[in-house]
C-alpha cells in the first residue's frame, strides 16, 4: 500500500481582513525584534508588503531617493533605542526629507521601558519628545501584542 501525502488546508484568505496599508517598513537593529514584530503584523494582516530594515541610515537613503509615490511606505515602525542611529536622530533626519515623502509616510515609534538600566530609561519625558514630532502618529511599548496593534489599526 502506498502512503498518501496529506497536505493541511491552506489558510483561507477570507478569514484575514483586507490589509489597511500597501507598504509598511520595520526599522530595528535587533533581528529578533524584527522577526517578532513582523510576525505580529502579518497575523493582523496590516499590509500587503512588509519590509524589514536593520540599518536606519539605509532607510533614510532609500526614502531620500524615492521617485514614485507608490514606493513610499505608509507606515514605518521605528525602534527608538538603536545603536548606530537612535530614533531621535532618525526623526531629525526624517523631518529633512521632502514633503512628498513626509506627507504619505507616518511613523509609529516603538520602545521598551527599562527601569533598571539607566542608559535605556524610557520615561514620560522621552515619550513626550517622541510624540512632539509631526511625523509620529503613535508610541507603542514593547512587548508588542496583537491586541495593542489591532487597537491602533482600528482607530
CATH number at residue 64: 3.40.50.2300
Quick check: is 63 in a domain?
A: yes
Quick check: is 99 in a domain?
A: yes
Quick check: is 132 in a domain?
A: yes
Provide the CA 79 distance to its chain's centre, in angstroms: 8
CA distance 138 to 110: 9
Quick check: is 6 in a domain?
A: no
Quick one: average pLDDT of 6-32? 76
Quick check: is 49 in a domain?
A: yes
Q: What is the pLDDT of residues 46-103, one digit of tens each?
A: 899 999 999 999 999 999 999 899 999 999 999 998 988 999 999 999 999 999 999 9
Please report the pLDDT score of residue 125 as a whole number. Answer: 76
Domain that holds residue 142: 21-154
The total domain count for the chain is 1
Confidence of residue 115 (pLDDT cuts 50, 70, 90): very low
CA distance 138 to 103: 16
Quick check: is 109 in a domain?
A: yes
CA distance 40 to 56: 21
Write the CB contacts of 25 (distance below 8 Å, at least 6 apart in sequence).
Answer: 50, 51, 52, 53, 59, 73, 75, 76, 77
Write the CB contacts of 51 (distance below 8 Å, at least 6 apart in sequence).
Answer: 23, 24, 25, 26, 73
Q: What is the pLDDT of residues 22-57, one digit of tens each?
A: 999 999 999 999 999 999 899 888 899 999 999 999
Quick check: is 28 in a domain?
A: yes
Confidence of residue 128 (pLDDT cuts 50, 70, 90): confident
Quick one: average pLDDT of 144-153? 76
Quick check: is 38 in a domain?
A: yes
Q: What is the pTM of this model?
A: 0.81
Amino acid at each position: 500500500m502506498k502512503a498518501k501525502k496529506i497536505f493541511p488546508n491552506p489558510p483561507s484568505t477570507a478569514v484575514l481582513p483586507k490589509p489597511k496599508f500597501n507598504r509598511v517598513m520595520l526599522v530595528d537593529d535587533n533581528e529578533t525584534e524584527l522577526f517578532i514584530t513582523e510576525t505580529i503584523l502579518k497575523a493582523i494582516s496590516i499590509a500587503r508588503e512588509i519590509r524589514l530594515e536593520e540599518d536606519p541610515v539605509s532607510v533614510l537613503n532609500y526614502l531620500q531617493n524615492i521617485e514614485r509615490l507608490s514606493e513610499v511606505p505608509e507606515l514605518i515602525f521605528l525602534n527608538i533605542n538603536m545603536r548606530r542611529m537612535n530614533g531621535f536622530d532618525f526623526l531629525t533626519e526624517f523631518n529633512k526629507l521632502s514633503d512628498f515623502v513626509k506627507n504619505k509616510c507616518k511613523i509609529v515609534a516603538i520602545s521598551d521601558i527599562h527601569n533598571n538600566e539607566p542608559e535605556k530609561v524610557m520615561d514620560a519625558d522621552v515619550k513626550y519628545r517622541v510624540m512632539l514630532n509631526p511625523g509620529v502618529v503613535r508610541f507603542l511599548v514593547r512587548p508588542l501584542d496583537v491586541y495593542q496593534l489591532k487597537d491602533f489599526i482600528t482607530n
